[in-house]
Amino acid sequence: MYEVKVMADFAAAHNLRNFRGRCENLHGHNWKVEVTVRGDRLEESGVLVDFGEVKDALRKALHQLDHQYLNDLTYFQDKNPSSELIARYLFETLSAVIDGPHRRVHSVSAWESKDSCATYYGER
């Protein structure tokens, strides 16, 4: 099994509805996102997936979130834009682009601070 990881960041504001605590108030984060792709077979070139392909897909996905009020985005209209659900949103978005016969997005972690993150692994 092979594993490739790519990281990027974005800044956005949100608040957690029906949450008892400070995060119920409008606030922002400088998120760091880590994407892990796993696969059992390398391409002829000796790589699992081109880092540039993963970075490009992640950059496009993060463009939709960067400097936004996440609660206003369609995906989060009926759910909280928590780190857990941001990771899931990115997992689903990236899986649609990156997954192939011998590779798949294994996990996405959304770091809201240097010491706090949530990771989504999918339901496969």
Average pLDDT value for residue range 83-112: 97
Output the pLDDT for position 124: 65
Output the pLDDT for position 40: 96
The secondary structure of the chain as a DSSP string is -EEEEEEEEEEEEE--TT--SGGGS-EEEEEEEEEEEEES---TTS-SS-HHHHHHHHHHHHHTTTTSBGGGSGGGSSS---HHHHHHHHHHHHHHHH-BTTEEEEEEEEEEETTEEEEE----
- 9-23, 43-57, 62-76: range with lowest mean pLDDT: 9-23
| CA distance linking residue 118 with residue 9, whole number of Å | 14
Contacts 24+ apart (CB under 8 A), 52-55: 53/98, 54/4, 54/6, 54/94, 54/98, 55/6, 55/8
Residues forming the active site: 23, 67, 112
Look up the CATH number of domain 2-120: 3.30.479.10
Per-residue pLDDT band for 41 (boundaries 50, 70, 90) equals: very high
pTM assigned to the model: 0.94
